[in-house]
Structure 1
Amino acid sequence: MSEVTSALLVGAIVLALTLHLAWLARRSRNRALAALAVDEARIRTIIADAADISDGTAGVVTWEGSWNGQRVQLRTIVDTLATRKLPARWLSVSITEKVAVPATFDMMMRPGSPTTFSNFDHLQHTLPKAPGFPLEAVLRTDRRGTRFPQGIIADHLEPFSEGRAKELLITPNGVRIVWLLAEAERARYGVFRQAAFGEAQIDPALIERLLTSLSALRDAINKSERQAA
């Protein structure tokens, strides 16, 4: 084979590989856009005015809207921190309305490693747990000596009975639950280091369930504060 022929063959192989990689990248983008459209359609069955307000952060998509007269926010987060055995896709559900608490209350389940969705690791003060909290839960706050209505909070922890709810955050500006949607497919991640989550999609019934739980918790805390006053 002549040098010219060899060069042409190598060039053809490089061109074919480049075109194939471009096709794979285009197919991946199209799949991501299709999945995003499905997520948004499902969210809007519960939050009709949901608007995508994402800021371009990789792996994070954020929607805001209203539900039962309250401002709410939904966010999906792909967590690929090296400290995790497998990448995870989280769903963060928040009601962004005032809550009658004096500081931040953060309950994290099994806080063994840092997360990309929470400031839990930066809260310096650990709270003792009242009866009714899960054994795996750790409670923290940003203000030493702050008292929270732990009895009321413990009565609204039903979503944490299944092992998929990760965090409950209560601040003066709102309440939030973070839920594990899916972990990456082990085989694909192990071989290709790709965080693929299969057919895991946002369930409208889950959104409504978590919003209902958060709304009941917020109402109970605010009602208790009004009665105490």
Structure 2
Amino acid sequence: MKFLIWALVIAIGCGIAVRLRGQSAKRFAVRGRYFAAVEKLFAAPIVALAPTGFPRLSGHYQDALFDLQVVPDTLTYRKLPALWLLVTLAEPTPARATLDVMLRPRGVEPFSNFRDLAVQIATPAGFPEDCAIRSDAPEAAVPAALVLKHLAGLDADLLKELVISPKGLRLVWLAEEADRTRYLAFRDSEMGKTPLAPARLEPLLNALLALRDDLKELP
């Protein structure tokens, strides 16, 4: 009798394991298509999968090299899990120092090196009140007026970070938040089921190109 009970327990356990593996494979397949709709924006795009199952894309848009990444963030305390889109113009710029503007900083941003920059800068007038700014060389950083000009053209509710550095430019954007009801009830934090739309990405690509062009005009 005990043998039959244990055999039943093992069979149920194996069934659950097989079902979970199937669900995991399906979830990774869905995640892997997240950039499928925006690949057409780039010349000769190269796509690889990150350990999270989400893709990373590299390609040329208007003759400039861009890198796209997606970072799921499920660790932020008392906030819904978020899916962050990192849009990087991966080419040298005329900037002489790194300047990092972080909106709503919490100190646990998994996608950023913000806390590693040595100097905290006082927030200039006109900048979002809930932002923090750091640099590795404030005296050589891009003028605040130029940064503010480009921040003003972005949705502050979705923008998380703007990085200006000699190595390139980056926007970190809130692509998605977990469904509140499902997360609170079942701790379901699955995101990225719908591929990123070109209409959402293209304005961010153009914003970084415009910033690059303005940097070239600096004395």
1:186 matched to 2:174: no
Partner residue, 1:177: 171
| Percent identity between the two aligned chains | 31
Aligned partner of 2:44 among 36, 46, 49: 49
Aligned runs of 1:147-226 on 2, under 5 Å?
Answer: 147-197=141-191, 199-224=193-218
RMSD (CA atoms): 2.2
Partner residue, 2:100: 106
Change (3 A) 1:124 1:67: same
Provide the TM-score with structure 1 as the length reference: 0.85
Letter in 2 for 1:166: K
Give the superposition deviation at 1:174.
0.7
Structure 1, unaligned stretches of length 5 or more? Answer: none
- Larger Rg computed on CA atoms: 1
Bigger shift: residues 179-188 or 108-117: 179-188
Give the superposition deviation at 1:213.
0.5
Aligned runs of 1:20-35 on 2, under 5 Å?
Answer: 20-35=16-31
Letter in 2 for 1:9: I
Secondary structure class of the residue paired with 1:45:
helix
1:36 matched to 2:32: yes
Indicate the structure whose relative CO is greater, using CA pairs within 8 Å and at least 6 residues apart: 2
Secondary structure class of the residue paired with 2:35:
helix
Give the superposition deviation at 1:18.
1.6
Give the superposition deviation at 1:95.
0.7
2: CA distance between counterparts of 1:44 and 1:36?
13
Letter in 1 for 2:157: G
Bigger shift: residues 180-189 or 134-143: 180-189
Give the superposition deviation at 1:12.
2.1
Provide the TM-score with structure 2 as the length reference: 0.88
Verify the 8 A CA contact 2:87 2:205 in the aligned structure 1: yes
Verify the 8 A CA contact 1:73 1:94 in the aligned structure 2: yes
Q: Deviations over 1:96-147 (max 9, x none)?
A: 1121111110000011231110011122211233343222221110125334
Partner residue, 1:61: 55
Secondary structure class of the residue paired with 1:196:
coil
When the two structures are aligned, how many residues end up with a matched partner? 219
2: CA distance between counterparts of 1:35 and 1:57?
11
Verify the 8 A CA contact 2:90 2:169 in the aligned structure 1: yes
Structure 2, unaligned stretches of length 5 or more? Answer: none
